[in-house]
Amino acid sequence: MTFFAMGGYAIYVWPAYGISAIALIGLGVTSWRALRRNERLVELADNPDRRS
């Protein structure tokens, strides 16, 4: 498994890729959730009758 050893630099290379992935996925998920939330709220505000 020389690939995962990264020539002895595994403890630096993998965290760099891991942190990048986590941060960008996190940014994407929070941005998307905020959009969905506001879309729901505007929908509710435009049609107040449907509030239950």
> With contact defined as beta carbons under 8 Å apart, do 44 and 50 qualify?
yes
Residues 6+ apart with CB under 8 A from 50: 44
Q: Does 49 bind other proteins (CB under 8 A)?
A: no
Q: Residues 10-39: x/- map of binding to other proteins (CB under 8 A)?
A: --xx-xxx-xx--xx-xxx--xx-xx--xx
Q: Does 41 bind other proteins (CB under 8 A)?
A: yes
- Rule CB under 8 A: which residues touch other proteins? 6-9, 12-13, 15-17, 19-20, 23-24, 26-28, 31-32, 34-35, 38-39, 41-42, 45-46
